[in-house]
Amino acid sequence: MMLKSSRVQPTKVSLMEVITMALEALWSNRLRTALTMLGVIIGISSVIMVTSVGQGVQKATEQQIQSLGTNVMLVLTGIARSGGISQGSGSASTLTWEDAQAIAEQAPAAEGVTAYLQRFGQVVNGDQNTSTSILGTDLSYPEVKEIKPQTGQYFTQDDLNNAESVVVLGSAVRNELFAPDETVIGTSVRIQNGRYTVIGVMESKGSVGGQDQDDRVYIPLTTMSSRIVGNNSLSGTAISGFWVKASDQVQLEAAQFQVTNLLRIRHNIYPPEPDDFRISNQVDIINTFSNVVGLFTVLVGAIAGISLVVGGIGIANIMLVSVVERTREIGIRKAIGATNSAILSQFLTEAIVVSLVGGAVGVAIGVGLAFAASSVFRFPFVVSLWSVIAGLALAFTVGLIAGVIPARNAARLDPIAALRSD
């Protein structure tokens, strides 16, 4: 009678069983598992924190710029050149107050226009003094720039016509020169050897783009031109520039087109001659800043992501060591019917679980650090869903890639050789 040879039939293992065995294997080596996760945790938390802080800073700056109005543009004087070398912004007196008045009258899309003349100087009150921006403006400034006196008033048409020595202080200048409970309205301050009566204090607008909007004083444009700067234009009153306000952001494009054409006609500029003025608007500033911050955030995030690569290498290394240590276990499992696919799935699952758990912990830590940073430095707390999803997807990818070679090595082990190993 012939005996039939018996052979262990391969056993099918469900996904749940694979995950359970992977978790049991990881739990039995808790310390090693935790240290393996550390690289992924650091990498994911760094990426989440960097992107969140970058988006928060970007949003804060956009809000500050938008508070000045996205329907406002600034027209500046040209740049003088000597020997082909630029003399800096505002070095050429190419704009006049009459230009601004012509724009207000002839540009249909311009809802409001306000001219200004700016210099820097000392403002003195008794033994207190501060170096600040001195802004000579016309009466339209509060409406176009959407800022008004918190106490007192802005200067009047008579003050402008008569070049009166009156001044409206920015809130930061008021705090520098006067005590908190000191009466300001009606007192006088000294600006370049002249006495000016304080008639108002502007509301606080904060800092935008590194410039403190409250660190300035306002005097009539005619006073600024005649007493502080001196009229240095061949015709009309020279100005540093003027602001143009449109009804909305759409009309701003039309206003820019009209302003450009009107100024070129007034200044006798014909193609292909370049403009002797410069135009910028808040939308352009926001877009430029967003692009710069976005690129910087991506760069820093990519640098932080290097730790993810280090984490992946750590996972691959530990899994390779684990295969060597568990050679006998693999041999026994193969001897009782485990397929190459089952062995491959288990080790691959272990690597993925380590990465995903590390990624989840990293996301939580990154969000916590971002919240702490936003609270300390006072910018909006922003954590986008895509950054969390991208972080977890990166963790999964790292685990998958790091686990392929160790899992394949484990699946290819010869069961007889594995059983003979110590």
Answer yes or no: is 282 within a domain.
no
Query: What is the pLDDT, as a whole number, of residue 86?
Result: 44
Q: Where are the beta strands (DSSP E) in 203-357?
A: 207-208, 211-212, 216-220, 241-245, 277-281
Shared domain check, 220 and 133: yes
Has residue 390 been placed in a domain? yes
Shared domain check, 216 and 315 = no
Query: What pLDDT shows up at residue 85?
Result: 45
Whether a cis peptide bond, with omega within 30° of 0, leads into 406 is no
* Dihedral class, residue 73 (left if φ above 0, else alpha if ψ from -120 to 50, else beta): beta
Kindly tell me the number of DSSP H helices and DSSP E strands found in the chain.
13, 14
The pair of structure tokens assigned to 206 is: 């904060």
Q: What six digits make up the tokens of 358? A: 């590390």
| Predicted pLDDT of residue 405 | 81
Let me know whether 175 and 237 are in one domain.
yes
Helix (H) or strand (E) holding 135: strand 128-137
pLDDT by position in tens, the chain (length 422): 444 444 445 556 677 877 787 788 788 888 888 888 888 888 888 888 888 888 887 777 767 666 655 688 899 987 654 444 444 444 457 899 999 999 999 999 999 999 999 999 999 998 999 999 999 999 999 999 889 999 999 999 999 999 999 999 999 999 999 999 999 999 999 998 899 999 999 999 877 656 788 999 999 999 999 888 876 555 678 899 999 998 877 788 899 999 999 999 999 998 888 998 988 876 666 677 677 777 777 777 677 677 777 777 877 787 777 777 777 777 777 777 778 888 888 888 888 888 888 889 988 998 999 899 888 888 888 887 877 888 888 888 888 888 888 878 777 877 766 666 65
How big is the CA angle at 248 (ends 244 and 250), to the nearest 5 degrees?
100
Last residue of a domain, one of 210, 244, 278: 244
Residues 140 and 234 in one domain: yes
Using an 8 Å Cβ cutoff, are 394 and 343 in contact? no
**Does one domain contain both 49 and 159?**
no
Of 244, 274, 306, the last residue of a domain is: 244
- Let me know if residue 256 belongs to a domain: no
Domain membership of residue 109 (yes or no) is no
Residues with Cβ within 8 Å of 262's Cβ and at least 6 positions away in sequence, in order, are 102, 103, 106, 107
Q: Which residues pair with 11 in a beta bridge?
A: 338
Residue 298 and residue 222 share a domain: no
Based on the fold, state whether residues 143 and 60 are members of the same structural domain: no
Q: Are residue 29 and residue 132 in the same domain, yes or no?
A: no
Dihedral angle computed from the Cα positions of residues 166, 170, 176 and 177, in that order, rounded to the nearest 10 degrees: 10
CB-based burial of residue 22 (10 Å sphere; 0-12 exposed, 13-18 middle, 19+ buried)? buried
| Residue 277 is assigned to a structural domain of this protein | no
The answer to whether residue 197 is domain-embedded is: yes
- Based on the fold, state whether residues 298 and 372 are members of the same structural domain: yes
**Whole-angstrom distance, CA of residue 168 vs CA of residue 275:** 34
The parent domain of residue 26 ranges over: 15-64+288-420
Question: Taking the CB of residue 372, how many other CB atoms lie within 10 A of it?
Answer: 12
- Residue 238 shares a structural domain with residue 293: no
pLDDT, residue 84, reads: 45
Assign 264 to helix, strand or coil.
helix
Claim to verify: residue 132 and residue 220 sit in the same structural domain: yes
pLDDT at res. 165: 95
Please give the pLDDT value at position 8.
47
Identify the CA nearest to 11 among candidates 331, 326, 341.
Answer: 341
**Number of domains present in the structure of the chain:** 2
**Domain-terminating residue out of 185, 213, 244:** 244
d(CA 270, CA 262): 12
Assigned domain for 94 exists: no
Contact 254, 71 (CB under 8 A): no
**Using CA atoms, how far apart are residues 25 and 33, in angstroms rounded to an integer?**
10
Contact (CB, 8 A) for 344 and 411: yes
pTM across the whole model: 0.61
Residue 101: inside a domain: no
- 305 and 184 both lie in a single domain: no
